[in-house]
Structure 1
Amino acid sequence: MPSFLRNPAAEAVVYALGPRDGFTSPLSTGLKPACQALVFDNDSFRLTETHERTIRSVAQELAADKKGRLLIAGYAPPNLPQDHARALSDRRALAVRQRLIELGLEAANLQTVGFGNDFSPSSPSSGVVVIYRQ
């Protein structure tokens, strides 16, 4: 029996975290953050003034680079249920992506991924969004 039939979830995870459409895998060590992590409060996915300043700075840097790509990775704290954490991290990443689009970046150059609390960075606050430069 093929291995993916024994564990179909494993195949989905590999596909979800692997490279796609020219974007580097978010698990790659070669990715460099484009800015400091955007820290969110509790269950919030609303952008604050601090987020806005950081996002504007990233948008200005990439406005001239039409081929520049960003990977926007959302994370959630480990104390949340897994399904809630994944949905929250997706919403956070999508909120940042939407704002970057509103600031003039091409939607096709912006990839999002919500890790939930599966791959949370080890820090006092793991409710963050990290914008990686591809």
Structure 2
Amino acid sequence: MKRWNAVLLVLCGCAFFVGGCAQTQEAMKTDTGKGVAIGAATGALAGAIIGHQSGHKGAGAAIGAAAGAAVGGAIGYKMDQQKKELEQIPNTTVEQKEDRLVVTMSNAILFDVNSTALKPASQSTLVQMADVMVRYPDSDIIVAGHTDSTGSEKYNQDLSERRATAVRNYLITKGVGAGRITAIGFGETMPVASNDTASGREQNRRVEVEIKPRPEAAS
């Protein structure tokens, strides 16, 4: 009898999990839905491990998926709201890539040629960005500098690092916790367009700010 109960529990758990997957695939059409789906997948994995250890594999996955979806939904909702607010800031583009937001700013807005000093006009943009970050504190932030291929590889790497650090430091002065922000330079290694044209090089000269919510962002 216990064996049949265990089988039924596993079957019910599998059915619940499959149904949840179908729902999260539909939910993926929205940013909040992406949070639900990511949370469900992560929760299912954790639940499956726990279930395997306890002998209730299907139930563990199902319970983990449900709990993960709840957490993911809360995080997804906050990401939705944060994305909408960031999109209101001039001179930026905002994308959601899986479990993080990526805000891109052109170097033409931020810096003069070969300079690492922030332009006065760019500071308004960064002040607004910092304000959003301060109001959504449960996230880790990476400021990534990128250049075109003009000049030596070493020079471009150094320039990208110093520009990323300049943006990081300015955000810190506006109240964003230093422990949340990492600055990194990629030089010319990650182009988004061809360096053979002026417009392509302009696109490659950029700073990207990645914002990734922590699990506690659900609370």
Q: Distance in 1 between matches of 2:191 and 2:105?
A: 12
User: What TM-score, normalized to structure 2?
Assistant: 0.45
Q: Which residue of 1 aligns with 2:81?
A: none
Q: Which runs of 5+ in 2 are unaligned?
A: 1-96, 194-199, 213-219
Alignment match, 1:49: 120
- Kept in 2: contact 1:41–1:127 (CA 8 A): no
Give the TM-score, by structure 1 length.
0.71
Q: Distance in 2 between matches of 1:131 and 1:85?
A: 19
Q: Could you say what secondary structure the match of 1:66 adopts?
A: coil
Cα 1:85/1:124, change in 2 over 3 Å: closer
> Which has more helix, going by share of residues?
2
Distance apart, 1:46 and its partner CA: 1.0
List alignment gaps of at least 5 residues for structure 1. 1-28
Alpha-carbon distance, 1:128 to partner: 1.6
Q: Residue 127 of structure 1 aligns with which residue?
A: 205
Distance apart, 1:32 and its partner CA: 2.4
Name the count of aligned residue pairs: 105
Identical aligned residues as a percent: 23
Q: Post-superposition shift, 1:103?
A: 0.5
What is the DSSP-based 3-state SS (H/G/I as helix, E as strand, rest coil) of the residue aligned with 1:69?
Answer: strand
- What root-mean-square deviation, in Å, do the aligned CA atoms of Structure 1 and Structure 2 show? 1.6
Decide whether the 8 Å contact of 2:161 with 2:183 is kept in 1. Answer: yes
Aligned to 1:26: none
Give the CA deviation at 1:65. Answer: 2.0
Q: In the TM superposition, what is the alpha-carbon distance from 1:42 to its structure 2 partner?
A: 2.2
Cα distance, 1:80 vs. partner?
Answer: 1.6
Does residue 37 in structure 1 map to residue 115 in structure 2? no
Larger radius of gyration: 2
Q: How does 1:1-134 map to 2 (within 5 A)?
A: 29-30=97-98, 31-34=100-103, 36-39=104-107, 40-122=111-193, 123-125=200-202, 126-134=204-212
Contact 1:72/1:129 (<8 A) preserved: yes
Shifted more, 115-124 versus 103-112: the winner is: 115-124
